[in-house]
Structure 1
Amino acid sequence: MLARLAATATVAAALVLPVAVAVPVAMQPVTPGTVTATRPLPPEHLIPGSASGTAITYRTLGPHDRPALSTGAVFVPPGEPPPGGWPVISWAHGAVGIADSCAPTVSGRIGGPYLGRWLAQGYAIVATDYVGLGTDGLHPYLDGRSEAFAVIDVVRAARAVEPDLSDRWVALGQSQGGQAVMVAATLAESHAPELDHRGTVALGVPSNIENLAVLGGPLFPALPLQGTTVFIAYALAGLRATDPGVDVNSYLSARGEEVLAQVGELCYEQAAAAVGATSIGALFSRQVDEPLLRALREMLAIPIRGYEQPLFLGQGLFDTVVPAPLTFALAKDLTAAGQRFTFRVYPQGHLETMLASEHEAHEFARNVLVR
């Protein structure tokens, strides 16, 4: 009898206490910034001039502020750290794709000579892949809050791996990463008060896109821009995967469904070659309405208040990916909201602005990190 009771109790316990590894990440207790795995990066993936490079998997918050995992990397310059440790640059990359193979820590395309020159200034570099790039689920492209949390939490994670890192940090982002660091700037103090966030450099920021979403539909006008169809498809694919309450498929044409399937497997260059000739209007079967518009606003909108630390905003006048008028509108809104920031324009295109702004961005970072 006792044996039968013991066996029954064992079975019951097994039914109510599932094995820990079987619990989905979204249901587990989460401390953002907790490191769950590390691995050394191969030499060919290191930022030029780095003394070491480590890939990390860490806990953060994904869409709708739900617990999620992200991957990223931490790079340390050579030599002895200064008193207080190496100040940190948290790098947020531009669009690479939404498939796991596109993650910079997988492809090795983490920053190259550009970040190498930041490293040479005496900074440790931490670089998030963002949620869903190299971790479970599809990457929610241009979901500002999840990108922002990944940018902040990778600093926490990197400091757990490399004890010689300071708590002083600056966020640096370009294109998609420009959106990520601007949202991160408004969340940094409340989300990670133990860190000393000193400022933000945001370049080629895709802003005010949510204000164009109302035009979404079969009659969407042709735009003289680069990559727009791919970027729209990435955003729709990510939204479809992370917000089942919005029936994204109901807005898609047959061609739109094909494109979303393609871009879910291709990194940016391949996706642009495969679907770049497809118009935005061809993605849709009907005009977008409030459910989708509301979800896009929540994903895409960049705050115009809440910038407690210095902000450097850079824009190319000849940018055909993120057109200058959208950034001028952002600058106007920030000014009207009473935000103080540095705004610089350059007679350059999208990627070229990242290089053209380099000297001023370095000077900005030096000034905010020594105050």
Structure 2
Amino acid sequence: MTFPTATHRPRTLVAGLLTAAGLGLTTLAAPAQADPAAASFLEQLDIPAQAVPPAAGDAHRFTYTTTGAQDAPTTSSAAVYLPTGPAPEGGWPVLAWAHGTVGLNDVCAYSTNGPGAVDRDWAYLGHWLDQGYAIVATDYAGLGTPGDHPYLNGKVEAHNVVDAVKAASGTYAELGDRWGVVGQSQGGGAAMITARYANEFGGSADGLSYRGAVATGVPAYIEELLPLVMRPLQDPAFPVEYRNPSPTLTTYLLYIVSGLRTSHPEWDVDSYLTPYGHDWVATAEGPVCDGDGGITDVIRDGNVQVGKLFSRPLEDIPGFRDALRDYMGVPESGYDAPVFMGQGALDTDVGPGAIALAGHLKANGEPVEFHLYPDQDHSGTVNTSLADSDPFVARIFAG
């Protein structure tokens, strides 16, 4: 099977939204909905070489049923990476990999196009494979499968992660029943929300045993700061030279608008966009993934003005802030298994939000272990954190 290719690079989140995240803002965890789509394996597919880490002894790609936006049943795809050699008695322990942002288009799917940060991700996943963990990596709903990707819809991502493990474990005999989740950036948020809802979404059903989570570069409290950043950028009195704060921020904003439109069709998000804004959201949803010569460069070359994207503020939507918290907020309570959080002190992509979140989790008595890496940025934290996350994972999988 031949798949289209796309240019890409590591996608990171934006510090400009998070510089105030240490202000003690509170994210409320809304009740999870019952899983309306029982996870089931659908079909095994070919997996291209660029989507397989060098350390894998074997790899598979498959589709499965899961839950999408509006709690509707949908289809997603995922990859399974197996360590070299025969599986131990009881099967390989499983780590679900929640990847970072790759784009919004089907051609950007991780299981066909591979990672943006190739060296970083293959080193990270290679470490776990070498330690004897199998990897199950969801693409998330709408990436490589029908429908639009509800970008940063945390509960959808959590369903996708859990259901990928359930579908894979029921199909590939090499996989054991113990599993955890690891994730970075967008996937760091997905890993946290998976950690909160894993058991509610069936992560310990049908013989499975959910053990815990590792999350690095977590994009915390964006839902609180996004409205604060957006309003001045849409103000006609705001100096025009400041209305394009950065191409990365603008790309990220366009992705969020797309995700909100997919997740909340009742809002009629298109009616809040100018024709200019509609065109740029469509461009962000197109077949150019994150990478050198990719969507961020297109945004830069187009000198996209954030203030020209909207005909009226999204905050005019009734209940917008509460809905935004439910959509992308990382819960501050309700975790029933250990969580590891790693954050680089030099991370200017997600800023200090994860530090504030860790403080709230500890204050709430949640089972979190937090590590700050003074000399690491957003991307560098991923593999540096292995010195601490490796023994953490070994502990939670023991017994």
Same fold (TM over 0.5): yes
Distance 1:286 1:335, change over 3 A: same
1:268 and 2:290 aligned? yes
Is the CA contact 2:158–2:190 (under 8 Å) kept in the aligned structure 1?
Answer: yes
State the match for 1:4 in structure 2: none
Partner of 2:105: 99
Normalising by structure 2, we get a TM-score of 0.81
The equivalences for 1:216-295 within 5 A come to: 216-217=230-231, 218-219=234-235, 227-265=248-286, 266-269=288-291, 270-276=294-300, 277-287=303-313, 288-291=315-318, 292-295=320-323
2:357 to 301, 321, 330: 330
Matches within 5 A, 1:1-371: 31-109=37-115, 111-192=121-202, 193-194=204-205, 195-215=208-228, 216-217=230-231, 218-219=234-235, 227-265=248-286, 266-269=288-291, 270-276=294-300, 277-287=303-313, 288-291=315-318, 292-324=320-352, 326-346=353-373, 347-371=375-399
C-alpha deviations, 1:32-86, integer Å up to 9, x for none? 3201111242444322121211101001111222211110011111212222210
Secondary structure, counterpart of 1:80 in structure 2: coil
The 3 A distance-change label for structure 1 pair 225 and 343 is farther
Q: Matched residues in 2 for 1:295 and 1:229: separation?
A: 21
- 2:14 is matched with none
Kindly state the Cα deviation for residue 30 of structure 1 after the two structures are TM-superposed. Answer: 6.7
The offset of 1:275, in angstroms, is 1.2
**Cα displacement (A) at 1:321:** 1.4
Residue 149 of structure 1, CA deviation: 0.7
CA contact (8 A) 2:340 2:370 kept: yes
SS in 1 for 2:199: helix
State the distance in 2 between where 1:281 and 1:298 align: 26
Quick one: which amino acid aligns to residue 264 of structure 1? E
Which one-letter code corresponds to 2:85 in the other structure?
G
Q: Distance in 1 between matches of 2:77 and 2:196?
A: 22
Paired residues, what number?
Answer: 342
Q: What is the alpha-carbon distance in structure 1 between the residues aligned to residue 90 and residue 322 of structure 2?
A: 45
Q: Distance in 2 between matches of 1:313 and 1:282?
A: 37
Contact 1:214 1:289 in 2 (8 A): no
Q: CA RMSD in A?
A: 2.1
CA contact (8 A) 1:246 1:295 kept: no
Structure showing greater radius of gyration is 1
Contact 2:153–2:263 (CA under 8 A) maintained in structure 1: no
Q: Could you tell me how far 1:136 is from its partner in structure 2?
A: 0.9
Structure 1's unaligned 5+ residue stretches are 1-28
Matched-pair contact (CA < 8 Å) for 1:30–1:59 = no
Instruction: State the partner residue of 1:10.
Output: none
Contact 2:56 2:82 (C-alpha < 8 Å) held by counterparts? yes
TM-score by length of 1: 0.86
Moved over 4 A (4+): 220-226
> Which residue identity is paired with 2:331?
P
Q: CA 1:199–1:225 in structure 2 vs 1: closer, same or farther (change >3 Å)? A: farther
Contiguous gaps of at least 5 residues in structure 2:
1-34
Q: Note if contact 1:59-1:70 (Cα within 8 Å) is conserved in structure 2.
A: yes
